[in-house]
Structure 1
Amino acid sequence: MNNIKWCHRLNGFRPVLILMMLLVLMTHEAFTQGHDVALIKTGRVWSVVTATGEDSPGTSAATGWFPADYDVVAYEDGNAGARTLTIYVLDYIDADGDTTEKKSDSPITDDFPNGIIVEPLKSYVRYGYPNNIMKGEAVITDPLGEIDPVKLIGTSDQTITSIFDYSIGIRAERKIFCWSQQYHDDYIVVDITLTNIGNVTHKDVLLAQQWDLPDLAWGNNPNPSGLSDNNYNWWHYYGSAPGDTQRVYYAYHADDPQQVGDTMGRPAFGQMNRLIRPGAGFWGFLHISEKPFNNPADDVDDPDQPITTYVAKGGQVGDYAGADYDAALGMIADQNPDPTATPGTHHEINNDESGSPDFQNFSTYVVYRGGNRPRVAIGPYATWAPGESIRYIYVTGHAGLSLQKVTEIGRQMVEGTLQAPPNLPDPVQGYFPANFVFPDGANEMDLMKDLWLSTIIDSVHEAMYRARWNMEHDWNVPGAPPPPEMEVEGFGGYVEIKWRNTEAEALPNFAGYRIMRKLSNLDTTFYEIIHETPPGEKAAEHVYQDSDLQFGASYYYYVQTGVRVDEDDQDAVPVSRGNRLWSGRAYLPTPNSIEPARAAAEALDDVIIAPNPYNINDPKVIAQGWVDFRGIVFFNLPTYVKIKIYTEDGDLVKTIIHQSEGDAGSLQWNMLTETQQVIASGVYIATFEADDGGVAYRKFVVAR
């Protein structure tokens, strides 16, 4: 009887019990799953972001290059280029009373393989992707986050947040954010506050982290060999000496000592010497707490942090217990110490200041497939009591010469006309350190090229200056305006661009629009301004017709909105005052090209096939930007014509119906058969049948 009553009671409570179990499971899930991934991509620097900063194999921020714009870089590690932050403490006593002399703790451990997630990854954006129509089809782009400007840090365009715990009782509140306006789009900010939420006072605490170089985007040119030489680098940490005004690690391409001549910047010798490594990745430090604090008002930056900096390859630190702690305290850096470093710190000498042209002049700087990585350590903090916090703010980014500039440098090297950049601080060394040694065998043009490469260092410092300015103004630099909606369509004789942006036109500092155009998806052609509108030109919809074209070539377009920065805006970095800010480039991806057609003709006798003969290696063919350099164009077509293509033996290869409602009189064929096979070399016959019964014949030759 009692059993029956108990069963009835259990049945009555079953829905409640099931609900309680679900809540427990959901809570467990929220506190353990750390592998959700976001992408931060609103600026020129993109990155994978994970909930705890761990690596995310198989996820790439580089996915979806525009693909006709390559002035972007991508980091793959989950902390915007930097790896997971590790905490080291001495004489750690665990819950069982066991003591570990040198305890290390990361968010991902054997006991917590998915991390301890308190608040999962959340991504917020200021603007969503606008409507973007190319040739009547919408460009579909996955949203980067929830549109909620209130959740953003300052005037940033994207902010990603998460909160997670370390098993030793440390809670990390992390914010990652960036800007899309052109004066601040080359860096990402990471702001981490670590709080001791346990009941143990930790002793002799060190924070350690390492950083990876970003990936570069490449275009549809044949990629030069040797692009994997990402480990041929000069590494430099500026900030070790008393009086240094910034703290930044950066890496720029070094000469390959195994090759004859000067290969700094990686000139593509078969492609007019354009430079393949034209910039520097950088990792800079804006704020590191001098000591743990209870009140944020008491938090003071320590200019001598990081206390340790060095470069090492994977597995080099050592495999004995506590080796990482010893390395963080300077074990490796002190083997080749920087003689100018502040006493009591541990900074390895920079390899570009060692007086050798070989970047491998230390045992730590070697060509290694696993990659050399700069590493830093922060601390040591003598004690870290419960309730106290440590704040750590850093930026990662990329700075240097534009792809357009390095193409020009390469061409002038070949022509023998390259001159040194103007206004160098030293006419011989440029921006390189005083004891930098140029590569063996460098000729006059090489040295001029290297002086241009030295300006990368100045660009890094300029980017760091702007990032620090932004922080010191509470992240309130003027923001970029909203991007416009855009439609692009080709007609006979012109391309029509339509756009609209009533939100931006309502702004008091609205400053008009500009249309950018690029010929082909090669990385040696560049976007140019083809049209600008004055600030007073406002409309429900704007229309521009572009007729200055090479008909049959591939073009890419995007439109940007402008706002004017006030001359007296004290939050604006001085160089931007009075100038226009443009809506972020990344908001209008350009994955699809448009091939403008000539106006329609009336007589089939005027039909032309070009190029004829077609040769895949013809530079003019490559310059058209066709997919895999495939493209034959039929010109002077009527608005309707049926085209049939035969082999010389009479086999039908392809039937194409050209029917234009836009008065288009040309058509590009991608040289694929009905079965999607690329046609072979040979002689082909094309027939053209008009709707009035007229027929024309043309012969063309293909050489592959």
Structure 2
Amino acid sequence: MIIKNLNRVITALFLCCASIILNPGLLFAQAGVQGTQQNVIKWMWVGGLRSWFSNSGSEGEYFRRDRTTYVAQDQIDGMLYPGEYNNRMKGVKISKAFWLGTTNFLDPVSNVLYPHKIISAGPAGVYMGTEIIAEESFGNVGIKMLGKFDHPNVYVDNTNSSVIEFNDEVDEIDDALPSDRMLISKFHTSIGITVTRKIIAFSQQYHDNYYIYEYTLKNTGIIDRSGEQKINKTLTGVVFYLLGRYSFAGESYTGTGVGDWFPAGSSWGRNTLIDHVGQDESHLLAPPNDFQAMLTYYGPHSSTLFGSPLSDIGLPGPRATNVLTLAGTQFSGIVLLHADKAPGDTTHDKSKLISTVSVGADATRDITNSPGFQYNQATMTRKYLEYMTAGHPNQTLAEQVGKDPVTGWPNAYANTFGTDPGGSIATQGFGTYDLAPGDSVRIVVADVVAGISRNKILEVAENWFTNNTSEFVLPQGYKNGTTTTDRDEYKNAWVFSGKDSLFQSFRRAIATYNNNYNIQQPPPPPDNFEVNSGGDRIRLSWSSNAESWPNFDGYRVYRAEGRNDTVFTQIFECSKNNVVNSYDDKNAIRGFNYYYYVQTKDNGSTNDIEPGVPLVSSKYYTMTSNPAYLTRPAGVTLTTVARDTFYTGDGLTTEFILPMSVADTSGTVIHGLSINVNGVKQIPASYSVTFDTLRFIKAPLGTIEVKVISPTEERSYKLSEIRIVPNPYNLKARNIQFGENDQTTLDRLAFYNLPPVCRIKIYTETGDLIETIEHTNGSGDDYWHSLTSSRQIVVSGLYIAYFEVTEDYSDDITGEFLYRKGDSIFKKFVIIR
């Protein structure tokens, strides 16, 4: 198996050590990844949760791409769930960072004894090579991806079309891996602690919305790129501190600036709410939710047009159009799975969670903006005492802003709380530990994103916006009944059922960790999936590698129209008893784009969460990124003009001798026969056909219908039958022509009934040639997207299309020429923009 290794490498800036010590202010303008080592990025892409990771051990603001170029696009960047909606939203992550601190540290570089020495990897910057030192002998500059198996080959019309092809970069296959993917990074720090971070991801449908992080902190004494021990001392008061900045603008923020409608400041988390559970006695929850976790979610914004904080829960909108959605329905959080009690004692110790304060994102940039302060004594002491070991506030940020004591819903505007214009950063501090040389401790957390489904979002938004006065159905288990006539109660109950889903995922992650990552696995996906456009169908085929899996029970095929970041609909299913490895989609409509995926499934016997429900392979393994569509056979179809009906009994063979041509119900002329058995199946043949009675004859008496077309009324191979659709093209109708959800077809014009091979030239009314299309695929269709050869959109006006046959084309049975090279015709069409 060929393993792809196309790691994204970002060239680092070079700064000298003296500039870090002497001029920290310079670094404010240069926040991001800096230093003398490469910043290597790898993605986790196989499950529903999609995000990127850096060999620096942190994923801070603009760590993936530079701030100057991508200031708008990457304000939110990662932790996207569900992953297929990457064209509609950017995720919930602004930054993920960590600080690592110790006490009474004699720094070997500055030769200063610091009461508190802090290493910072984000949120706003990191310095690689001297503060964070990637282990260059491990993987690709300190980072490596392991996979249980490689992702499948996915093709649409012979073109690579996997949605994960270029972002699932597996370096090593390990079929004994308990998870689908494991990303390992290893780096040293300037205080002599080496950190090994393992990120574990599953694609099984009940476990694909979280990552498990294992952090191992070991006192190696390595402080630079030499890889040699330079410090040999016990590190005291060691604290590991996680920081996360989140946004829940959702699909109101695309990063493109086109059609955005997010409330001011929401893209950088000004209104994000932060809550904690289990951190102290006053925040303990009853089993099964007796865990320690941080959670974040959308807080009501004062710019709402709907009158109250309760109305803005879930971010209904967009405000400026008639599109009905809820953009802020997701919940994100980190749950503690394990914290060693001490070096050599792996007992889980809940008391190691020692700090859950919220950090102001902007007002304290001197605290959060690494890497300029690892030699600033006052700043490091402030970090250690005011944040890393600060304990647990009496009230969480969500409680300070205001939330209903019964429902937990926010009841005040979050963006007007406090004075920090950047909002707040959620934190969790673990410690303290004393690490002698060679000692290590392990901290394990799960990072989760959850919420209501896309279908439920659209359903609730539709009901809420239309203000239906009938009773709304509330989520199962809701405390205040099963129905309500209060539209805000209805909306908010459903939005906050996403919090229940978050807690459910916390419990699943805890169980997974406690079971050594051994979860029930679905059959693997087909390792090859092909989709091919056709004239009367789109043909799908896949490999059979999963069929030897224990409890394998067939396949399911799903399809989406117009775009692949939308809801897919199941169109086919087979079981082990009637298993096939192909499917013809005959219900596609010409002119529309279609996307597909195929899933393997088991018989449900191994499902320990919903017994009897099949476990299925991840849809992302086979989801297509390029569209398939119907092509049209060359020429034009005429209507049936004659009909006769023949009857047959139990005979297995029936002969017809008809000195004429017939067409099947799709209109395709076959020089022989096409028959329809009981209106169910069409079989092309040459004057005779043999039936399989087990397939076709349902009763002793069946019917065979033959549609007859006289020889003079066969398919017309005339250039005069070429059609341009729509004509006229009207910009105001662009959303309904070839799919209202498909952005790729908004400017499309179709040319139908074409010769199989021809040249299409498009001229302005004054005779200027603006585009040439070479039609060579043998179909009767081609498309133009209103662009000139210089990729400029055309203006309103009259246009002329010139069609010229470029190859002779003859009937493959009679040899009669149907099109001759050089035949041509002009057609006019109008564009109104």
TM category, shorter: 0.7 to 0.9
**In the alignment, is residue 310 of structure 1 matched against residue 345 of structure 2?**
no
2:171 to 130, 143, 146: 146
Counterparts of 1:488 and 1:408 in 2: how far apart (Å)? 31
Instruction: Please name the residue that 2:24 is paired with.
Output: none
SS of 1:323 mapped into structure 2: helix
Counterparts of residues 668-687 of structure 1 (less than 5 Å): 668-687=783-802
1:249 and 2:294 are equivalent in the alignment: yes
Distance 1:703 1:646 in 2: 16
Q: Which amino acid aligns with 2:65?
A: G
Using the TM superposition, name which of 596-605 and 124-133 deviates more.
596-605
**1:701 alignment partner in structure 2:** 830
Shift of 1:121: 1.4
**Aligned pair partner of 1:358 in 400, 413, 435:** 413
> Is the 8 Å Cα contact of residues 75 and 214 (structure 1) preserved in structure 2?
yes
Deviation by residue 1:449-494 (Cα, 9 ceiling, x = unmatched): 2221111111110111111111111100023432221111111121
CA drift of 1:374 comes to 0.3
Report deviation, 1:520: 0.8
Of 641-650 and 45-54, the range deviating more from structure 2: 641-650
Measure the CA separation in 2 of the matches of 1:222 and 1:686: 33
Partner Cα distance (1:609, 1:109) in 2: 59
Q: Which residue of 2 aligns with 1:136?
A: 158
1:35 counterpart letter in structure 2? N
In the alignment, structure 1 residue 459 sits paired with structure 2 residue 501? yes
2:114 to 67, 82, 100: 100
Q: Deviations over 1:13-46 (max 9, x none)?
A: xxxxxxxxxxxxxxxxxxx956333222221222
- Among 571, 574, 592, which residue is 1:530 paired with? 571
Match of 1:115 among 125, 133, 149: 133
Q: TM-score, normalised by structure 1?
A: 0.80
**1:236-277 CA distance string (max 9 Å, x none):** 212234443122222221221133323332221314321122
> Partner residue of 2:553?
511
Letter in 2 for 1:620: I
Q: Does 1:225 align with 2:267?
A: no
Is the contact made by 1:40 and 1:46 (CA closer than 8 Å) also made in structure 2?
yes
Deviates more, 1:324-333 or 1:490-499: 324-333
Return the alpha-carbon distance in structure 2 between the equivalents of residues 158 and 315 of structure 1. Answer: 35
Equivalents in 2 of 1:666, 1:649: separation in Å? Answer: 27
Instruction: Report the CA distance shift for 1:68/1:531 in structure 2 as closer, same or farther (over 3 A).
Output: farther
Check conservation: 2:79, 2:449, Cα contact below 8 A.
no
Is residue 213 of structure 1 aligned with residue 246 of structure 2? Answer: yes
| Residue in 1 that maps onto 2:465 | 414
Question: Partner residue of 2:71?
Answer: none
In the TM superposition, what are the counterparts of 1:609-620 in structure 2 within 5 Å? 609-618=724-733, 619-620=735-736
Please say if 1:591 is aligned against 2:625: yes
Is residue 323 from structure 1 mapped to residue 327 from structure 2 by the alignment? no
Deviations 1:134-171 (A, max 9, x none): 1122337335113422573xx20111123333333323
Separation in structure 1 between the aligned mates of residue 781 and residue 292 of structure 2, nearest angstrom: 58
Q: Paired residue for 1:37?
A: 41
Alignment of 1:17-28 (within 5 A): none
Letter in 1 for 2:196: E
Partner of 2:487: helix, strand, or coil? helix
Distance 2:55 2:489 in 1: 46
Shift, 1:519, TM fit: 0.5
Match of 2:314 in 1: 265
Counterpart of 1:551 in structure 2 is 590
Measure the CA separation in 2 of the matches of 1:351 and 1:596.
55
Closer/same/farther in 2, CA of residues 348 and 208 from structure 1, 3 Å limit: farther
Would the aligned equivalents of 1:633 and 1:669 in 2 still touch at CA under 8 Å?
yes
* Shift, 1:628, TM fit: 6.5
Partner residue in 1 for 2:706:
none
Of 59-68 and 162-171, the range deviating more from structure 2:
59-68
1:329 and 1:496 map into 2 onto residues whose CA distance is 58
Say if 2:301 and 2:415, in contact at 8 Å, map to a contact too. no
Rounded to whole Å, the distance in 2 between the matches of 1:589 and 1:62 is 20
Deviation readout 1:347-384 (Å, 9 max, x if unpaired): 984645387412146527x542xx53101212234x44
CA 285–316 in structure 1, closer or farther in 2 if over 3 Å, else same:
farther
Give the CA deviation at 1:595.
Answer: 2.5
For the structure 1 residues 463 and 377, does the alpha-carbon distance in structure 2 shift closer, same or farther, using more than 3 Å as the test? same
Distance 2:384 2:302 in 1: 34
Taking structure 2 as the reference length, the TM-score comes to: 0.68
CA contact 2:132–2:187 (8 Å) conserved in 1: no
| Deviation sequence 1:601-660 (CA, Å, 0-9, x none) | 124454433223323342313516252621011234454555443333343433434444
- SS of match in other structure, 2:205: coil
Q: Aligned pair 1:520/2:520, yes or no?
A: no
Q: 1:66 to 1:413 in 2, by over 3 A?
A: closer
The one-letter code of the counterpart of 1:260 is L
Is 1:181–1:479's contact at 8 Å kept on the other side of the alignment?
yes
Residue 208 of structure 1 and its aligned partner are, at CA, apart by 1.4
What secondary structure does 1:453 align onto?
Answer: helix
Change (3 A) 1:608 1:409: farther
Of the three residues 440, 445, 448, the one matched with 2:487 is 445
Q: Secondary structure at the match of 1:454?
A: helix
CA distance in 2, matches of 1:580, 1:515: 14
- 8 Å contact kept, 1:180–1:480: no
Q: Deviations over 1:27-77 (max 9, x none)?
A: xxxxx9563332222212222222341343418876999877769965778
CA distance in 2, matches of 1:348, 1:62: 23
In structure 1, stretches of 5+ residues that fail to align are: 1-31, 340-346, 431-442
Q: Does 1:191 align with 2:234?
A: no
- Structure 2 CA distance, aligned partners of 1:259 and 1:626? 28
Equivalent residue in structure 2 for 1:487, among 518, 530, 536 = 530
CA distance in 1, matches of 2:247, 2:398: 23
> Matched residues in 2 for 1:300 and 1:637: separation?
73
Displacement of 1:531 in angstroms is 0.9
Alignment correspondent of 1:5: none
The answer as to whether partners of 2:157 and 2:628 remain within 8 angstroms in 1 is yes
> What letter corresponds to residue 480 of structure 2 in structure 1?
P
Question: What does residue range 65-104 of structure 1 map to in structure 2 within 5 Å?
Answer: 82-84=96-98, 86-94=99-107, 98-104=112-118
Contact 1:328 1:376 in 2 (8 A): no
Conservation of the 8 A alpha-carbon contact between 2:533 and 2:631:
yes
**Structure 1 residues 669 and 605: CA distance shift in structure 2, 3 A:** same
Taking the aligned partners of 2:533 and 2:111, their CA distance within structure 1 comes to 75
Q: Indicate if the aligned counterparts of 2:357 and 2:387 stay in contact, CA closer than 8 A.
A: no
Identity, in percent, stands at 24
CA apart distance, 1:580? 1.9
Contact kept in structure 1, 2:354 and 2:390, CA below 8 Å: no
Give the drift of 1:447. Answer: 3.6
Determine if the alignment matches structure 1 residue 126 to structure 2 residue 185.
Answer: no
Tell me what 1:440 maps to.
Answer: none
Q: Does 1:203 align with 2:203?
A: no
Does the 8 Å CA contact 1:306/1:377 hold for their aligned counterparts?
yes
Task: Give the 3 Å change call, closer, same or farther, for CA 329–623 of structure 1 in structure 2.
Answer: closer
| Shift, 1:304, TM fit | 3.9
Kindly indicate whether the alpha-carbon contact (under 8 Å) linking 1:46 and 1:72 is maintained by their aligned counterparts in 2. no
| Cα distance in 2, alignment partners of residues 90 and 302 from structure 1 | 22
Question: Aligned partners of 2:417, 2:437: CA distance in 1, in Å?
Answer: 42
CA contact (8 A) 1:470 1:476 kept: yes
User: Which whole-Å CA distance do the structure 1 matches of 2:89 and 2:771 have between them?
Assistant: 39
1:654 equivalent in alignment to 2:771: yes
Q: Give a deviation string over 1:169-218, Cα, whole Å, max 9, x none.
A: 32322211101111111011110121234543333332212013378678
In structure 1, the residue matched to 2:480 is 427
